[in-house]
Amino acid sequence: MNRTVIIKEKIFSFNKKITVQGDKSLSIRWALIASQALGVSRAYNLLDSEDVKNTLKILKKLGVKVKNKKNYHEIIGTGLNSFYYKNNTVIDAGNSGTLARLILGILAKSENSFTLKGDKSLSKRDFSRVIKPLNFFGVKLNSKNNRLPIQMRGNKFLKPIYYEEHKGSAQVKSCIMFAALNTPGITRIKCIPSRDHTERFFKYINIPIKKLKKGKFDIIEIKGQKQFKSFNYRIPGDISSGAFFIVLTLLSKNSKILIKNVNINKSRTGIIDILNKMNAKIKFKNKRIYQSEEVADIYVKSCNKLKPINCPKSLNSRSIDEFLLIFLVCAKAKGMSYFKNIEELRHKECDRLKFASKFLKMIGIKSIETKNSLKIYGNPNLSLNGNYEIKNFEKDHRVCMLSFIAALTLGGKWKINDTDSINTSFPKFIDIIKKVGGKIN
C-alpha cells in the first residue's frame, strides 16, 4: 500500500523528550559481521526497518541462522565465509545501497554463484565503485552497465589489494574491508575519510586493523583470514533520523527537544557543525563512549536568526544523508548559502541535488544548481499558503520525511505521496511526529 498523507497545519510550539530508532548503518553492519563470527551474537535495539529486514532475509537465504526474540535479535555465526546456499541463489537488497555493496564484499570468497537484485531505485544506482575493487581481489561479476542485477561467484584464491578511494564513500570502503576479511595477507585502502563504523566494529571485536592519517587521507590496513568470536551489541539511536527532529525544532516557534541516546560519532555529525555555524546552538548532553561509539542526548531550541553558510567541503561526507534537511534550513536563513563538491548527492536513492532544486523552486526559493554544487538564496520570512504536492517517484525515504518537516514548519497544504518509503529507515517517524504535536491526515 502506498499511503498518501495530507498536512495542512504548522506544528504548534512544543517541548519534548524523544528517542529515535536504532542506527541503520550500525544495524546492517552488526548483522553482516555477526554472520561471520564464531558463536551466538545478540543485538539490542536493532533497527526494525525494511533495509535491516532485507539484511536479515539475505543472511537467512545464505544459510545463516537468525532469530528474532522479544527484546533482541540473535545471529548464530559459524565463522568466516561459512555461508551455505545453492548455486544460482537470488538475493534481494530491496532499496538498500549499503546492504547491496557490503554483501558483495562479504561474499568475495563464496564459490557458489548468486544474483544480487534490488528495487527500481537501487537498480538505477552505480555499482562500478565496488565492482572495480572486487575485480582487483580476483572476483568476477557480471552486470549490464554496472547496474543490478549483478551475477557473481566468489574466488577461493583472493589476492590482497591496495586501493585508492576518492569519493569519500563508506560503502565502498566497507565493501573492501569485508572482502579483506577473507583474503590472505594485508589489504590496504587509501581513502577520503567517511563514516568509520566498520573500522570501529573491527577494532571492537579484535580483527587486526591499523588506521592512520596521511594528509587528507585515511590509510587502513587489514590482515585477513582471522576468525573472530561472537559479540553482543546495543545499537544507539540514528542521528540521520534524529536530524528530522533537530530541523523540525529549529524551524518551529518557541520549541525545544531532547533526543536521547543518539550516536554522535564524529563522522556522522556534520549536520550539527553546519547548523551551529548557521547559529543554531545545538548541544550534546551526557556524552559517553559506548562499545567504541560515542553516544549523547541532543538538545535543540528554535532559532529565528539563521545565518547562511559557505559549507567547507570537508563536511560533505560527515553530513551526506542530511543535505536535504540542511538545504531546507538554508531556505530560511538570511542570505546565500553555498555547497560545493556535492555530486555524490546525485547517486543516492534519487538524484537529491536535482530534487533539492525542484523543491526549493516549488517553495519559492531561488537556487542555482551546477553539476556538483548548489547555491541557495534564503528568505527568513518564508511562509507558505498554497498547495504543494510531493510525488517522490523514486520513493526516496529522506525526500518523504523532509517534506513532512517542510509542511509542518512552513505552512501551506501539502499532499505527500508514497509515505511507505519511510519504512526503509525510520518506521516510527510518523508516530514520533504525532507525539511532538504534528497533525497529519
The DSSP symbol for 238 reads P
Helix axis angle for 97-106 and 170-181, nearest 10°, is 20
Q: Which positions ≥6 away from 374 have C-beta within 8 Å?
A: 327, 338, 339, 342, 353, 356, 357, 367, 368
| Residues in 195-224 at the binding interface with ligand S3P, rule: CB under 6 A | 195
On whether the CB atoms of residues 112 and 137 are closer than 8 A, the answer is: no
Q: Taking CB under 6 A as the rule, which mask of x and - marks residues 179-198 in contact with ligand S3P? A: ---------------xx---
CA 178 to CA 364: how far, in whole Å?
Answer: 45
CA 274 to CA 36: how far, in whole Å?
Answer: 37
CA distance to 105, 144, 176, 196, 210, per residue, from 191 (Å): 17, 27, 11, 11, 14
Contact between 255 and ligand S3P by CB under 6 A: the answer reads no
When the beta carbons of 255 and 396 are compared against ligand S3P, the nearer one is: 396
Binding residue for ligand S3P, selected from 19, 25, 403, 419, defined by CB under 6 A = 25
- For residue 284, how many other CB atoms are within 10 A of its CB? 15
Task: Retrieve residue 211's grid coordinates.
Answer: 588506521
Binding residue for ligand S3P, selected from 150, 170, 239, 303, defined by CB under 6 A = 170
Sheet hosting strand 140-144, strand order edge to edge: 89-92, 114-117, 147-153, 140-144
When the beta carbons of 98 and 265 are compared against ligand S3P, the nearer one is: 98
Contact between 169 and ligand S3P by CB under 6 A: the answer reads yes
Contact between 321 and ligand S3P by CB under 6 A: the answer reads yes
Contact between 81 and ligand S3P by CB under 6 A: the answer reads no
Binding residue for ligand S3P, selected from 139, 303, 320, 329, defined by CB under 6 A = 320
Task: Retrieve residue 389's grid coordinates.
Answer: 504536492
Contact between 265 and ligand S3P by CB under 6 A: the answer reads no
When the beta carbons of 167 and 188 are compared against ligand S3P, the nearer one is: 167
Contact between 235 and ligand S3P by CB under 6 A: the answer reads no
**Kind of pairing between the strands at 209-214 and 186-191:** unpaired
When the beta carbons of 174 and 265 are compared against ligand S3P, the nearer one is: 174
Contact between 409 and ligand S3P by CB under 6 A: the answer reads no
Give the interface segment with ligand S3P, choosing from 65-73, 164-172, 284-292, 324-332 (CB under 6 A): 164-172
Count of residues near ligand S3P by CB under 6 A: 11
Exposure string of 344-367, with b = 16+ CB inside 10 Å and e = fewer, is bbebbbbbbbebbbebbeebebeb
Give the interface segment with ligand S3P, choosing from 169-177, 211-219, 294-302, 370-378 (CB under 6 A): 169-177
Q: What's the closest the beta carbon of residue 345 comes to ligand S3P, in angstroms?
A: 9
On whether the CB atoms of residues 31 and 76 are closer than 8 A, the answer is: no
Q: Which residue is nearest to ligand S3P (CB)?
A: 25
Contact between 318 and ligand S3P by CB under 6 A: the answer reads no
Contact between 174 and ligand S3P by CB under 6 A: the answer reads yes
CA distance to 82, 257, 269, 324, per residue, from 13 (Å): 54, 11, 26, 23
CA 212 to CA 56: how far, in whole Å?
Answer: 33
With vertex at residue 390, the alpha carbon angle to CA 385 and CA 393, rounded to the nearest 5 degrees, is: 170
When the beta carbons of 195 and 428 are compared against ligand S3P, the nearer one is: 195
Contact between 394 and ligand S3P by CB under 6 A: the answer reads no
Binding residue for ligand S3P, selected from 21, 27, 55, 98, defined by CB under 6 A = 98
Contact between 106 and ligand S3P by CB under 6 A: the answer reads no
Catalytic residues: 321
Footprint of ligand S3P on this chain (CB under 6 A)? 25, 98, 169-171, 174, 194-195, 320-321, 344
